[in-house]
Amino acid sequence: MSHSPLHPTRRQLVAGGLLAAAAHGLPALAADAWPSRPVRFIVPFPPGGPVDTIGRTAAQKLGDVWKVPTVVDNRAGAGGVVGASAAAREAPDGYTLFLGSIHHAVNPALMGKLPYDIEKDFAPISFAALFPVFVVAHPSVPANNIQELIALARKPDSTLSFSSSGNGGGTHLAGELFNMEAGTRLQHIPYKGSAPAMSDLLGGQVQLMFSDAPTALPHIKSGRVKVLGVASRQRSPMLPQVPTVAESGLPGYEAYSWTALFAPAGTPPAVLARINADFQTAFNDPAVRQRLLDAGAEADPGTQQQLRQRLRAEMDKWARVIRTAGIQAG
């Protein structure tokens, strides 16, 4: 039996559909087959840090779901730029994922030209977790809440200083945002990491620190520093008795460090949707949420569009702070 062009065979229809899908970049079969081999998570910071903790938690949990090996690939350097550059060059097939952080919203304004574009070269998957920032003070500081701190810092003879984990980092920016919105002039003292910054606060060489939760919590609980407020929009379940900065005299103030999951741009939409769904399920699991709380993080998964909007808002916000405070990479 012959077939005219007006009556194509089933084989021709299937072939034509696959060609059309390929022509439009659609994942004709990829989504159904994914994942069929190991998935790699690029973490742009060293092992053992807060971002690495989130990456390893995600890799372990998703590996159990996907039934394939998942590995964490630490590519540290240049404030996250080394890892982001490596991830941006990977094949967009869903087998390489990237754990971005607040640094990637900050770096475009802080460093200028980068070897990648955080919005154009990456596809958002899901926000992962936030690390609350606690405002902590040396016991000698005569302020026990945010209102008292603002009043003290506004005095003409104030010499209050705050330490941070590094110039242009999230805890530095939190302090500069506080200065902008409170009308204070707290002096910034940068350190190479959170540990030495906290060490000098404990020793009284600096008076204040806008500290990430993993660094601050042990010393808050031991009483070696006093906590004045939490910079998140809502109170933290880690210390629910501590009021937010916003409710304590500085309405609208919000600052925190964060991590989020991305893939190289061009990854098939169906694969991104699958990863997002599995990631949300994993990070809404009560055991995972508790594990992250124990590590100083609050799980906060969401949709791809929510991450896209959140990233843009973070980039705009911190670019304004960097310009206003005259912060330069250092």
Q: What pLDDT was estimated at residue 31?
A: 57
- In sign, the C-alpha dihedral spanning 293, 163, 55, 28 is positive
Q: 């754990």: which residue's tokens?
A: 99
Q: Is the pLDDT of residue 27 over 90?
A: no
* pLDDT at residue number 20: 40
Identify any residues that bridge with 212 across adjacent strands, giving them in sequence order. 133
Backbone φ, ψ for residue 87 (5° rounding): -65, -40
Nearest to 210 by CA among 233, 236, 186: 186
**Is 266 in contact with 123 (CB distance < 8 Å)?**
yes
pLDDT band at 17 (very low <50, low <70, confident <90, very high): very low
What long-range pairs does 16-22 form, CB within 8 A, spacing at least 24? none
pTM: 0.87
Q: Note the pLDDT tens digit of each residue in 199-236.
A: 999 999 999 999 999 999 999 999 999 999 999 999 99
Going along the chain from its start, the domains and CATH numbers come out as: 36-130+257-325 (3.40.190.150), 132-248 (3.40.190.10)
- Distance between CA atoms of residues 196 and 219, nearest Å: 14
pLDDT at 330 (0 to 100): 66
Are the CB atoms for 123 and 263 separated by under 8 Å?
yes
> Does 10 have pLDDT greater than 90?
no
pLDDT at 329: 80
Asked whether residue 21 carries a pLDDT value surpassing 80, the answer given is no
Quickly state the pLDDT bin for 30 (edges 50, 70, 90).
Answer: low
pLDDT at residue 78 greater than cutoff 50: yes
Kindly tell me if the per-residue pLDDT of 3 is higher than 90. no
